[in-house]
Amino acid sequence: MKIEYEFKKQRELMVKALIREGVLKSKEVKRAFLTVPREEFVWPDMKSSAYYDTPLPLGATGQTISAPHMVAIMLEEMWLEEGMLVLEIGAGSGYSAALTAEIVNPTGFKDSGGQVVTIERVRSLIEFAKSNLEKTGYADRVKVVEGDGTLGYPEECEEEIYDRIVVTAAAPKTPIFLKKQLKRGGILLIPVGDLYIQRLMKLTKSEDGSFKSKHVCDCMFVPLIGCDGYQNS
């Protein structure tokens, strides 16, 4: 219980810091950050660093759990609402998916039907994310699937399915099937650039199917591997 209390205090301090920095703004995103225990989503030997505002390695997978400030920026830019269906490309440890689920289908409230589908290609991370989501109570609101995230879900489907799509890896361009699977009026958030630095882009799909884009900030993510992303070397 003492350890849980200490993590809760660290979580509260992290939220206060993110508010001061101006990246944490809406009450829904603030509540999600206060609710979801980040220490349960970092690699087991990194728990003492769970509330540092920095990316942390996920074992030897070559992947990371993003810095809290970047996760906050992305969640705020998605303008999430209860009841939404969200597609995430790059499950990682499941932390961002849990935060998203907490916003679209909050814990302790009437079930709004909000759901998150998150795609991961690294088998060990799929099992890690599933385990983390199960023990923190989000498994019923987050579906973790194995696959090529650049092809969407279901793969190569051209139907408009999702209210929001977020990509948590760096892409050379926006994958075509992600654009197709976004609903009219929906938002697609994706880091686009080279392997060293990217621009976080916010694409909004108009009623005529065209896209309006906004440069949110510069960022640095691990590469998006897939048929419509970077090729695995």
Active centre residues (catalytic) = 66
Q: 3-state DSSP call for residue 16?
A: helix
Cα separation values, 25 from 63, 141, 195, Å: 28, 24, 30
Task: Look at the chain and count its residues.
Answer: 233
Element (H, E) at 54: none
Helices (H), the chain: 2-20, 27-35, 68-78, 95-104, 123-135, 176-181
Q: What's the CA angle centered on 197, arms 13 and 214, to 5 degrees?
A: 80
Can you count the helices (H) and strands (E) in the chain?
6, 9
